[in-house]
Amino acid sequence: MEYLIVLLPLLGSIISGFFGKRLGDKPCQILTCSLVSVSAVLSLLIFFKVFTQDYSSNKLIFSWISSGDFQVNWSINIDPLTSVMLIVVSLISSIIHFYSIGYMSHDPHKPRFMAYLSLFTFAMLTLVTADNFLQLFFGWEGVGLCSYLLIGFWYKKPSANSAAIKAFIVNRVGDFGFALGIFLIFYLFGTVNYDEVFLKIPEFINKEISLLNNSPPFPFLGTAVKYIDLICLLLFMGAMGKSAQIFLHTWLPDAMEGPTPVSALIHAATMVTAGVFLVVRCSPMFEYSQLALNVVAIVGMMTAFFAATVALVQNDIKKIIAYSTCSQLGYMFFAAGIGAYHVAIFHLFTHAFFKALLFLGSGSVIHSFNDEQDIRAMGGVWKKIPYTYAMMVVGTLALTGFPFLSGYYSKEAIIEFAYLEGGFTGYSAAFVGIFVALLTSIYSWRLIFKTFHGKYNNKKNNLNSIHESPLIMLIPCGLLSIGAILAGALFKGVFIGHETQFWNNSILFLQTFQHDHIPLWLVIITPVMVTVSIPISYYLFIKNVSILKNLILKNQFIYNFLLNKWYFDDLYNFIFVEPIKKAGLLFWKKGDVNIIDRYGPDGLSRLVKIISNKAVNFQSGYLYHYAFVMLIGFSILLTYLIIY
């Protein structure tokens, strides 16, 4: 069973990718959807088995690397954490596969697209089922490669190519740190297998970095650095890239250039959740590094706040949802940073349903508007596309944390656990969580009201041409809405209940959280703000838009600051991109063209040409000239022999 979960998507990818032209569009779509669906069903069975029987296993596929004492196997590791991720990845992916049949109906390259989707799923399944860091890194890079292929799927669009390259390069920055972390793990522990590494961690928690054996610790900024801190920070660097945390986030909004199913897959179930999974999987390391946990929490808080503020002023429907993803990932990270790893995974789980629902719903809107994505060119269509409207409202309610929907349970749990953690980090995280929840509600309802309510503002399409999407696109949205409504209530007790034993040894908790003494105001403040923000948003964005216009005019600097995404892209262009481009041009023009080419191949060719032109002058074509030259040559040779 475990083998099939991972290998079936790979099989579908191979068949659709290599034999798609022979099989045709429909067979490839049916095949890939069926194989991924079987994988999803098997994942559900595995989860049920883990939940009811405390099942765990490690299935060997083959021995991968064997060099002396260094042994790395390709295995499928099943534990509670893996079982949850299997559901998220395979179930969401299967729904998106079916949705893609309708969304990509007019694309001439359907087999290639389905092959990429299935390959993406395989890479993510490989990542979450790994029992060692090397296999994890293989799946990690596989996800990165597939993201490049999918974001740049419409490769004839320059913007899609640029976005794909940007995603690939930015992730390589994070992956460089991740690779260094794995190298350091191998250097210290002599192995990359999870169990062996985690077992040896207590022996190294106080070991400080030194340049030579038995030498004094090497100070950094006047402070000795522990190996465990450095390893965790390097691993987190990789997580920052994959999960689009602040400073390495710039690729995520641009990834919206890919087809909408790609956006849903990347943002809900696969790539961006890999970083959160990495931190939680490595909890036996992070629990011994308070420095790393503090960094994780601070970066998570900064990301949640940053992305929420930027989403307030964006006009592209997919980019608004993309920044919401970035913000929610911030929630997950600061939950992990305070040691509430199970709560981070709980939010990852619920988030997958409502975020995939929002992306697929936005895809249905874009489909109805003939590829229009600007919410300013929409409005007044909720009666035309009522099913899509209802699904988007459900997803928005869940995202904002409206009472008793999925997002409510997980988001409230993060805020409460942050408060219970106490201290500067805990209380700061709780405050940021509450404030960002308010911002989330405002920009989410702004999207809903400007898209579906008010006046119809689209000049390209007649209002009568707006129509509901086909059932093949709507049914997946309906299935996801069930998860967006019920997932939180059904699984709260399993994942974060007071007496839950679900996680067993898959997550390490060195400290136990207190589950009492939560003040009443903390329980009610977020739901109240989220609820009250709905009529306020409607009034500001629909009924009396002049208030916002005046506010923007009075605060033009802040508005431009947010609209330009805190100028991160401009800053990176100024610091990195432009200097590197200028250096490249300098080396090309001055070094390559003027020096290497001029005096190398081009210079040699010119020299040969000059010599050949001179030599031509000696070729008269008269026999007596050649005889005379031979005679002179013979005379010189004879003279040389006589003298010497």
Q: 429 has which bridge partners?
A: none
Cβ(324)–Cβ(253) under 8 Å?
no
Q: How far apart are CA 640 and CA 440, in angstroms?
A: 97
Phi and psi for 56 in degrees, rounded to 5? -150, 150
* Planar angle of CA 503, 509, 512, nearest 5 degrees: 105
- Quickly list H helices, 152-226: 158-189, 194-204
pLDDT of the residue at 514: 61
Q: How far apart are CA 629 and CA 424, in angstroms?
A: 97
Q: How far apart are CA 276 and CA 341, in angstroms?
A: 9
Beta-carbon-side half-sphere exposure of residue 520 (alpha carbons within 13 Å) = 0
pLDDT of the residue at 44: 94
Q: Which two tokens stand for residue 201?
A: 């961690």
Amino acid at residue number 489: A
Q: How far apart are CA 414 and CA 127, in angstroms?
A: 25
Q: Which two tokens stand for residue 158?
A: 């320059």
Q: Which residues contact 360 (CB under 8 A, 6 or more apart)?
A: 95, 96, 99, 260, 261, 264, 391, 473, 476, 477, 480
pLDDT digits over 419-443, tens only?
988 888 899 999 999 999 999 999 9
Q: Which two tokens stand for residue 138?
A: 């293989």
Q: Which residues contact 505 (CB under 8 A, 6 or more apart)?
A: 79
Q: Which residues contact 514 (CB under 8 A, 6 or more apart)?
A: 420
Buried b (16+ CB within 10 A) or exposed e, 339-356: bbbbbbbbbbbbbbbbbb
The three-state secondary structure class of 179 is helix
What is the Cα 71 distance to its own chain's centre? Answer: 30
Q: How far apart are CA 337 and CA 325, in angstroms?
A: 18
**Burial group, residue 121, by CB count within 10 angstroms (0-12, 13-18, 19+):** buried
The three-state secondary structure class of 291 is helix
Q: How far apart are CA 411 and CA 44, in angstroms?
A: 24
What is the Cα 547 distance to its own chain's centre? Answer: 37
pLDDT digits over 512-543, tens only?
666 567 888 888 999 999 999 999 999 989 88
pLDDT of the residue at 343: 94
Q: Which residue has the tokens 């794995």?
A: 182
Q: How far apart are CA 15 and CA 29, in angstroms?
A: 11
Phi and psi for 66 in degrees, rounded to 5? -140, 110
Torsion (CA) 104, 108, 110, 115 in degrees, nearest 10: -130
Cα separation values, 205 from 213, 302, 349, Å: 17, 28, 31
Q: How far apart are CA 457 and CA 455, in angstroms?
A: 6
pLDDT of the residue at 410: 94
Low-confidence ranges of the chain (pLDDT < 50): 221
Q: How far apart are CA 373 and CA 359, in angstroms?
A: 12
pLDDT of the residue at 429: 93
